[in-house]
Structure 1
Amino acid sequence: MAIEKACHDFPWSENTMKSCLSGRYFNGAVYQQDTLAGFYVGEVAGPDHTLMDICVAPAYQGQGLAKALLSDFMMASEQAGAENLFLEVRKSNITAIGLYLWAGFCEVGIRKDYYPCVNGKEDAVLMAKTLNFGSENSFQY
């Protein structure tokens, strides 16, 4: 929760975080010198996986840990047989969008007024990546 609160102006609640520790959710973490430096939360929805949250503590940002977490999310999803990956990201989060583009995600839509922000609401960019390119159900970009 400390990392979640440090990374987001509008963090998840403790109840939301606790609910994402079992069931259809899976998680990954990265440590620096035995200290939790970052984590992600993924969700399984049929053949698709969604990156629900990814955070790196401010003291550890800029060291490639988000890239490592995202790579772990994609690898875990692929090993589980996921076909497509999805995520939403704040339209203003250019750094994260760049990371997702680097990883092969493509913009597939906009969710209007999705995220709360200081001045009301902010749009989310919906992004997707196909893992199973041989599938006839794969996204065509």
Structure 2
Amino acid sequence: MVEPTFRPMTEADLEAVLKIEFSAFSHPWTRGIFLDCIKSGYECWLMFLGDQQVGHGVLSAAGDECHLLNLTVKPESQSNGLGGKLLDHLLLQGRGRGAETAFLEVRESNQPAIRLYERTGFNEIGRRRGYYPAVGGREDALVMAYTLLD
């Protein structure tokens, strides 16, 4: 497989980002959410295979913590290791900003993502009841953490 490349996300990228976001999730992020993240100086990245955008991610970092807010690989590119490469890239950005611990929330029904995070070294540390909107109601989030120190 060709190794993915990464570049920072800009406002001009948002139409392509939203196309992937809406194809991947039942409750996708909006343009406004992505724009707020870019304007706030979060780590907002695009992932490419060749010249094709295949994913994006957003990570906030403050003090000695970072928080993975969004990790998306377009559905037709999933299940071939790209999510792990995007995750590694985002965690590297967190380390570069001085983070020692990474946190995230994940839908409890999203078993492929949970397996990815566990393989990376994340551990479940809690649960947020009714955190995510879901068809017909709300869904719990698992809260996971990972120590970034080498």
User: Shared fold by TM > 0.5?
Assistant: yes
Aligned to 1:39: 56
For each residue in 1:16-49, what CA deviation from the matched residue of structure 2 results, as whole angstroms up to 9, or x when unmatched?
1111113241122211230110011001132210
> Does the alignment pair 1:99 with 2:116?
yes
Structure 2 counterparts to residues 111-122 of structure 1, below 5 A:
111-122=128-139
How does the TM-score come out when normalised to structure 2?
0.84
SS at match of 1:62: coil
User: Which consecutive unaligned segments of at least 5 residues does structure 1 have?
Assistant: 134-141
Picking from 71, 81, 85, the partner of 1:68 is 85
Would you say the 8 A contact 2:67–2:102 is kept in 1?
Answer: yes
Identity of aligned residues (%): 38
Distance across 2 between alignment mates of 1:40 and 1:91 = 20
Amino acid in the other structure paired with 2:19? A
Alpha carbons 1:24, 1:44 under 8 Å: kept: no
Contact 2:61 2:97 in 1 (8 A): no
Provide the aligned length of Structure 1 versus Structure 2.
133
Partners of 2:66 and 2:101 within 8 A in 1: yes
1:14 aligned onto 2:14: no
* Amino acid of the structure 2 residue aligned with 1:49: C
Question: Is structure 2 residue 67 aligned with structure 1 residue 50?
Answer: yes
Distance in 1, Cα, partners of 2:78 & 2:52: 14
Q: What is the rounded CA distance, in whole Å, between the counterparts of 2:102 and 2:41 in structure 1?
A: 15
> By percentage of residues, which structure has more helix?
2
Aligned to 2:148: 131
**Would you say the 8 A contact 2:62–2:99 is kept in 1?**
no
Q: TM-score, normalised by structure 1?
A: 0.89
Q: Which whole-Å CA distance do the structure 2 matches of 1:32 and 1:111 have between them?
A: 35
Contact 1:89 1:124 (8 Å CA) reproduced: yes
Divergent runs of 4+, >2 A: none
User: Partner of 1:21: helix, strand, or coil?
Assistant: helix
**Paired residue type of 1:120:** G
